[in-house]
Every structure is written in C-alpha cells, then in structure tokens.
Chain A
C-alpha cells in the first residue's frame, strides 16, 4: 500500500482526529499508528530510492594561472593573517592585520600565486578593507575573479579589479574596447578609460569624445577626472569646450585640468589676470586683489562665492594665482629664481594668501623647483614651526631621497608631534637617515616622560615603514629604564612594551619578506609567545 507523501503530511499536520490519509482505517489512535507506519515506509523509500539530480548549468573554467605557487612558509603566514583575530594595538605582540597590505604588495611584486583554498578568505578581507583591494585582487589572480562571479558578496572584485583586469585586456583589442565602452557598467568604463589613457591618451580622449554628449552629468564628472591620467596639451581643445558644460562641477574640473597645463590658453588668461593683481615695487611685492568676478573669470572656473569667513576679493585672488603657471612669476619679477621670489617681502599682509596659492599651484603643476623653494630648508629647532601650505603635499613632489632627508632633519629638530603626515608621504621602507631620526625622536619622547599612546600614530607608521634592518636598534630601547623624574607613572613600562612590539613587528616583517623571497627561512630570531 502506498499513500501519496503529501496526503500523509496533510493528515499529520491536522491530526488523525480530523483528517485521515486515504486507505488508512481504524479509530483516531489506530489511524495515527497506521499513518506512522505508512510514513516510515514512505520515507525510507524516498531516501533510499533517490535518483541523481540533473546537473544545472555549469560554470566556465577559470583561466590558468601561470605564476609559481607561494612558498609554503609564506602560505602559512597568509593563512594566519587572514584567519587571525583583528586584535588592536596592544601588548607586545605584533598586529598581523596591519602587515597584510605590505604582504600583499610584496607578494604581488614577486609574482606568486596564492593557494586556491585561501581565496575565499582573501576576497572577504578585500571586501571589508578597500585599501587592500588592488593588491589582493592582483595576487588572487584569475581564479578569484572566476570565484567572485559566483558570489554577489564579491561583486566588487569584478568592478574594481576585474574591471581593471578586463579593461587592461580590452584596451589592447579595439573591438573589445569599443564594445566595453558602449555596453559596460559605469565603473568598468571608468577603468577602461583610465587603462586606455595610460597606453594611448589620444585614443582615450577620442573614445570619451565619441559619447560625451550623451553621458549623464555625474558620469561626465568622473570621466573628466579620469583624463588626469596622461594629461597633455593635446587635451586642451576638449577641456576648453568643457568649460561651457551644463554642470558646474564638470566646468570646475575642466578648468583645474587646464590650469595644470601651463601652456594652455586658460593658463595664459589666468596669468594675465594674476599679473594685473600682483606687481613688484621697491618695497616688495604689492597685491591689488580683483574687485569683481566677471563672467569670463567664472567661465574659466573661478568660483564667485567664497566660503563663509573668507573675503571675496582674497578668495578670487587665490583662485587666479592657483591657476596661473608658476613660470610667469620669474618673468614678472625680473628673472628671479623661485627661492628669490619666495624670499621677497609681501606688502600689506598678503604674504600668507600669496604663498598658500603658490603652494597649491606647485602641487597642481607638480613643480619640484617651486615646491623646494616654498618648503625651504627644514626649520631649525629654535623658532616655532610656521608651515606654509601643506608640507606633506609639497614634499610628495620632491624626489624620494630628498623628501626623506628633509623630513629626517625636520624630525630631528621638532620631534614627532607635527611629523605624522610628512612621514606618511615618505617612501617605504624609510631611508636609514629617516629611520634613525624617528627612533631617536621616540627615545627622546620616552625620556620626556609622556605615555607612548600619545605617539601611537607614529608608532603604527614605524611598524609598517621602518626598514626591518632597524630592529636591533629598536631592541636596545625596549629594555625598561628608570622612571624619568617628571614622567607619568608607569610610562616607562608602557614604552618598553611599545618598543618590544615595534621590534617584534620589524622582525616579523623581515621574516615575512624572507618567506616571500622563497629562500629557506632561517631568521635570526622571532617573537616569543
């Protein structure tokens, strides 16, 4: 006797007092037993008789990854970093999650392939930390893109990395490029435009121009921004036309890009306006800020309305000088060099405004000579620090070595309290000179008796950026010293712990790099417990 399963379930749900399956007889109690017997027979038959299901659509196969597999020790390290707890900065043990970005960057550079079994964890890490994405996806390789296509949680990989990878491929194939540009998602198109601009700026511009009129305003803004890559005088006609765009943000970005081209007509117009406002007199530089923001100025990207608390004339002046080519000032001031110009007195308290504008112009035009002049030699320890503009940004224009030397001297003179952003602008690993300056400054800070967490930002940077070779130098500092007389209670022990962590992190980084080099690991010493 077989009874349909659904019939059995229906009766079971309502109870045999109310409903009986077909073919089952007796009073309610007997029917309940009969129902259980029938159901037992049916469930065994259902389970034992199960037939293969029909396979659904199969995913394609992931592309081959020709890269060599990670050395085993490095693979183990990655697994620890990906599955470790996200413990914060405390105790003397290194914080592995902080080292993950560096690990990924080096692994990418070395061209290792990550074990496939770790890809889900790696994608999850890249999902929650955008700073990891570019390197994580590059290291993860084609297998991860294949995997990401199956999981909505990992869609970002197709946008960010996948877009870039796809774009790089498409950029080389003309028909694929055209199709992706016509049909791609917005982020894919941005990635494509950037990739094409990197290889062939003119082709990228043509591609953008072909659809420019039909793009939405917010998309136009992002595409305009992508033109920064490979920007050249050849882009000027397009940008000049974009100065009449319907969207104010697009107009402003076009103007900014044009002002980064010192030979552009816009730069020349701005130069003419700036020249009429700034002149050299016997007493120094005289400034006569503009009295109005006319339509032509507005068309060239000058914002007429100042932010609150700012006078409108100085606001307009600032924007003119920001956008004027720096080379004009040498000409305007009798062939003086940037150093000499910066040294000239400025009349009527206009100096802060004028110098701040020059800083912005130097950054925008990436003019190292002006950046050097505006930074000057690092201020010595005697006077207060009066930074002009944003020193970290100016520093970023200087060659790496010069930058590190400047910051090292700054730290030696002023300590660490104002150095955080400058340190962040320096190339990793820090030069020996810079590393020594930072370590010495930390030593001095400890002797000063404050708590180490006042320097936690710099400590974190040092963990990631100091050359691992400095570990022994730092280890010397981790011995507990006597409390300094005026110091905060217990500070010495905390410092000792902080230096221990710095030491062990540096050693761990050295070990990590060695593991990634593929050499057998025989490190001098590692972290205990």
Chain B
C-alpha cells in the first residue's frame, strides 16, 4: 500500500508552522534549488537542504505521527526545512518529489531513524506504563495530602475575600484597580491552587475592561465562589463533579498515568489547531472530533489536546488541519470529559470528509447540558452544519440556513469566515463561550480552512 500517495495539501503543511516567520521561511525554501537527494517512501519524506554551511542539513519527516527530524540548529519545531520539504512533497507525485516508493525503500539514514521510531512505538505499545515504585507512592501520597490542606486553606481565604468584596461593593473595586486581585492571586499561587489564581487575575482585568463590567464581574465572582465552595464541600458532590472541581482548581493528572489507564481508540479528525500566548507560555489547542460513533447529525465525541511551549518557543505537537488520524487517547477525569492526553497516533491515508454538523438549536442545547455538569466550562466545541455568517450592528451572528435560529459571535468581525461564505451556507467548527461563538475552522467545500485568529 502506498500510504504517502495521499499527500497533504500546502495549506495543511503551512498550518503546522509554529509561527508566521517559519511559515514564510518555509515557503521561501520550498523550491527545488536548495534540495538534493529528496525522496518519499512508505510514510517517510526526506531530503538534503543546502544551508549557509558547507554541509547540507538532513531533513526527514515521518508523516505517520507526524514526526520531524532535521540536523539544523533551529529550535523551531517543525523547522523551516521540514516545512519546505513537506511543501515540495505536497505538490503531488508529479511535483519535485516524485512518486513514492514502498516502505523499506528509504535512504539509509532515513531508514535508520524510521526503524528506531517504529521500535520505540512497539515498545511503548507492548509495555504498559509501570506504576511508580511503592516507596515513591508513599511520599507522593503525603505530598498530595499536604497540598489538599493548603488548597483548602486557600479556598477558605478566597471565600472570605470574595465576601468582603461584595460587602463593600464592586464600585470600590473599580477605583482600586487590579492590584488587590494581583495580591489575592499571589495568595492562591502560594496555596498551590493555580486555577483559582488564574480566575482571580481574570477578575482584575474585568474591572478595567469598561462597558457593562459590573455584570460580568458578578458572573465571574459568583462562579469563583461556586468553585471554592465546591472544593470545600466536595465530600457531598458526585465523583465526576469532584474531578471537574479539582481540575478547575489546578490539580493535574500526569499524561503517562492517564494513558496507562483506560484509553479511547478511534479515528479522529483534526478540526482545529490554534495557539495563544502570554509572557511565559505558548499554549496550543488541538480539537479532535470523532464523527464515526456519533448519532445522526454528527454529534460525535470531541477531545482537546493541549501542548505547551516555553515563552517564544512553539509547542512540539503539530497536526495538519482537517486530516484523519488513528489515535489512542485518554480523557482527563471530569464531569464533562474534553481534555485528553494523546497516545500513539498516526495520520490515516484517506482523504478527510467534511464533518457533519448540527443546527444552532441543538448545539446550544448540548452547551446547556454541558454547563449543567461543568458550570466553569469556558469553551464547548460544536460542529455547525449549513450556517451562514451574518453581519449585525454590534456583533456578527452565525445563523442556520434553514431557520431563524442564530448565535452571536465573540471577538472581532470574522472577515475570513465571511469571505469563505459569500452569503452561502458552510460547515463551521466553533467554540461556544459565555461571550458567544468563536468560529475556528470552516469547510466551504471539501477543504478545511482555519478562520481564527
């Protein structure tokens, strides 16, 4: 089977780029001139790229994964050489990288790398993650207990501070600015409750955000109160909700531990990938959708895979938008399982279909049901079928093509989405948030196109 003959499109390749500069550099290198010894076989694509030094860089990509390897010193991932190589490859079998050979026909240095990867994959598959040694487990248990005590102290302190805030009135918070919130956030960090700290910091930014801030402020304050109260009263809550409360507060579960437990094996479609960055961290969010097991209307499962990069560095995990992927993953425990740890995965050779979406009403129903289970849910994934973006005086809307139902859009005017639509219905993947829907990907035709940011 000639797997690589289902080649990615240039758009899918460019979507892997860690940033705009890499995209540009990769596109610039994507001409045959600097390349030699290129080839494709099995799932591998490789080539030698002439750089500024005397020795060309060895670049190889395993499209199953995908995984990247390059001898260049770049810390970007994938580097521009890998991007350029894939762009050349994306031009098809009559392009610069000719028809693929079979697996096993790779250049020697590529074959070694691929073999090593396969060996590792097999080893990982054969050997389930070992539980930690008992002595470590005892120490870890004691650490965990100490942390629980601290978080309880933090939650109680937060409850007191929130009550004080409401006693004195939010109007006072306006004049004090965000400083008191910074201080409270620092207390929550000390209490090892990073989730609480982040939400407190958010409160500080609402104070200075103008508009109808008191209403938004009360909403978020109340939800924060609910979270702290939920943790303090967790004995009385059902198990999955406790998991949700714990994860919202900032307790994490190790990916390896998760993957050692029950996993979900399915054929997932990559329906969105986007990065957000603050001073310390770049966060990549990858939304996966499994349409196969879904009920009619495409309300299949979703999974959110996160990957992180230190400030200025791109996260390592990169999956081409729209492709199908056979993957094993494990959901983080929660009343509304979304976030997942990604296990072994390989892109599937078939062309990806346009996912089927639901109507607006059904999407909002699913959002409401999810909120009832997880009131702190800030982004609920939905695939909307046959919707049309509509401009409005204040905000845009997405509306059903066949009914008067609509949902307002969050954020700035969605010009790219509008351009793709031209007034015609399309399929859209969006996150529903308290501020409205945030469209991430659109299918005006068979190809997925990112519409955010």
Are A40 and B94 interface neighbours, CB within 8 A? Answer: no
Chain B residue with minimal CB distance to A12? B218
- A sample of 20 cross-chain residue pairs with beta-carbon separation below 8 angstroms, ordered by A number, consists of A12-B218, A15-B171, A16-B167, A32-B164, A32-B165, A32-B167, A42-B222, A55-B390, A55-B403, A55-B405, A72-B90, A79-B27, A117-B419, A117-B451, A146-B423, A147-B422, A521-B91, A522-B96, A526-B33, A529-B52
Are A40 and B223 interface neighbours, CB within 8 A? Answer: yes
Specify which of A43, A60, A84, A529 is in contact with B219 (CB 8 Å cutoff).
A43
A361 smallest CB distance to B (angstroms): 50
Known: A56-B390, A522-B32, A523-B31. A35 touches B422 (CB 8 A): no
C-alpha gap A16/B166 in the complex (Å): 6
Chain A residue with minimal CB distance to B164? A32
B48 smallest CB distance to A (angstroms): 14
Q: Give chain A residues whose Cβ lies under 8 Å from the Cβ of B406.
A: 52-56
Known: A17-B167, A117-B416. A58 touches B367 (CB 8 A): no
Q: Give chain A residues whose Cβ lies under 8 Å from the Cβ of B422.
A: 61-62, 116, 143, 146-147
Tell me which residues from 148 to 173 in chain B have a Cβ below 8 Å from any Cβ of chain A: 162-172
Are B169 and A527 interface neighbours, CB within 8 A? Answer: no
Are A52 and B221 interface neighbours, CB within 8 A? Answer: no
Are A72 and B10 interface neighbours, CB within 8 A? Answer: yes
Chain A residue with minimal CB distance to B408? A53
Tell me which residues from 411 to 442 in chain B have a Cβ below 8 Å from any Cβ of chain A: 413, 415-416, 418-420, 422-424, 434
Known: A40-B222, A43-B223, A72-B91. A120 touches B419 (CB 8 A): yes
Are A76 and B367 interface neighbours, CB within 8 A? Answer: no
Specify which of A83, A116, A529 is in contact with B24 (CB 8 Å cutoff).
A83
Known: A40-B222, A147-B415, A151-B413. A50 touches B397 (CB 8 A): no
Q: Give chain B residues whose Cβ lies under 8 Å from the Cβ of A307.
A: none
Chain A residues packing against B (C-beta within 8 Å): 5, 8-9, 12-18, 28-29, 31-33, 35-37, 39-40, 42-44, 46-62, 72-73, 75-76, 79-80, 83-84, 116-117, 119-120, 143-144, 146-147, 150-151, 511, 520-529
11 further A-B pairs in the complex, CB-CB below 8 A; given A39-B218, A50-B364, A521-B96: A9-B218, A14-B171, A32-B165, A49-B368, A52-B361, A55-B397, A55-B404, A55-B405, A62-B424, A80-B24, A83-B24
Q: State whether the Cβ of B214 lies closer than 8 Å to any Cβ in chain A.
A: yes
Q: Give chain A residues whose Cβ lies under 8 Å from the Cβ of B453.
A: none
Q: Give chain A residues whose Cβ lies under 8 Å from the Cβ of B215.
A: 5, 9
Q: Give chain B residues whose Cβ lies under 8 Å from the Cβ of A526.
A: 31-34
Are A53 and B397 interface neighbours, CB within 8 A? Answer: yes
C-alpha gap A52/B96 in the complex (Å): 51
Specify which of B222, B391, B408 is in contact with A150 (CB 8 Å cutoff).
B391
B76 smallest CB distance to A (angstroms): 14
C-alpha gap A29/B160 in the complex (Å): 9
C-alpha gap A331/B292 in the complex (Å): 91
Q: Give chain A residues whose Cβ lies under 8 Å from the Cβ of B419.
A: 116-117, 119-120, 143-144, 147
C-alpha gap A84/B20 in the complex (Å): 9
Are B28 and A29 interface neighbours, CB within 8 A? Answer: no
Tell me which residues from 4 to 21 in chain B have a Cβ below 8 Å from any Cβ of chain A: 9-10, 14, 20
Chain A residue with minimal CB distance to B13? A76
Specify which of A52, A58, A120, A147 is in contact with B390 (CB 8 Å cutoff).
A58
Known: A58-B399, A72-B9, A76-B27. A147 touches B418 (CB 8 A): yes
Q: State whether the Cβ of B225 lies closer than 8 Å to any Cβ in chain A.
A: yes
Q: State whether the Cβ of B334 lies closer than 8 Å to any Cβ in chain A.
A: no
Q: Give chain A residues whose Cβ lies under 8 Å from the Cβ of B10.
A: 72-73, 75-76
C-alpha gap A116/B169 in the complex (Å): 50
A16 smallest CB distance to B (angstroms): 5
Known: A54-B404, A62-B423. A33 touches B163 (CB 8 A): yes
C-alpha gap A312/B369 in the complex (Å): 89
Known: A14-B171, A32-B166, A80-B28. A50 touches B372 (CB 8 A): no
Are A529 and B418 interface neighbours, CB within 8 A? Answer: no
Are B416 and A18 interface neighbours, CB within 8 A? Answer: no
C-alpha gap A54/B407 in the complex (Å): 8
Most interface-central of B33, B218, B418, B423 (chain A CB within 10 A): B218
Q: State whether the Cβ of B317 lies closer than 8 Å to any Cβ in chain A.
A: no
Are A8 and B405 interface neighbours, CB within 8 A? Answer: no
Known: A13-B170, A15-B171, A53-B407. A39 touches B219 (CB 8 A): yes
Q: State whether the Cβ of B371 lies closer than 8 Å to any Cβ in chain A.
A: yes
C-alpha gap A54/B360 in the complex (Å): 11
Chain A to chain B: the 8 pairs with minimum beta-carbon distance, closest first:
A15-B169, A62-B422, A39-B222, A52-B405, A61-B423, A55-B399, A526-B31, A32-B166
Specify which of A29, A42, A119 is in contact with B163 (CB 8 Å cutoff).
A29
C-alpha gap A145/B437 in the complex (Å): 26
Q: Give chain A residues whose Cβ lies under 8 Å from the Cβ of B390.
A: 55-59
Q: State whether the Cβ of B128 lies closer than 8 Å to any Cβ in chain A.
A: no
Q: Give chain B residues whose Cβ lies under 8 Å from the Cβ of A31.
A: 167
C-alpha gap A12/B24 in the complex (Å): 51
Q: State whether the Cβ of B198 lies closer than 8 Å to any Cβ in chain A.
A: no
Q: Give chain A residues whose Cβ lies under 8 Å from the Cβ of B451.
A: 117
Most interface-central of A58, A119, A143 (chain B CB within 10 A): A58
C-alpha gap A49/B372 in the complex (Å): 9
Q: Give chain B residues whose Cβ lies under 8 Å from the Cβ of A59.
A: 390-391, 423
Specify which of A5, A15, A75, A527 is in contact with B166 (CB 8 Å cutoff).
A15
A77 smallest CB distance to B (angstroms): 8
C-alpha gap A143/B372 in the complex (Å): 42
Q: State whether the Cβ of B226 lies closer than 8 Å to any Cβ in chain A.
A: yes
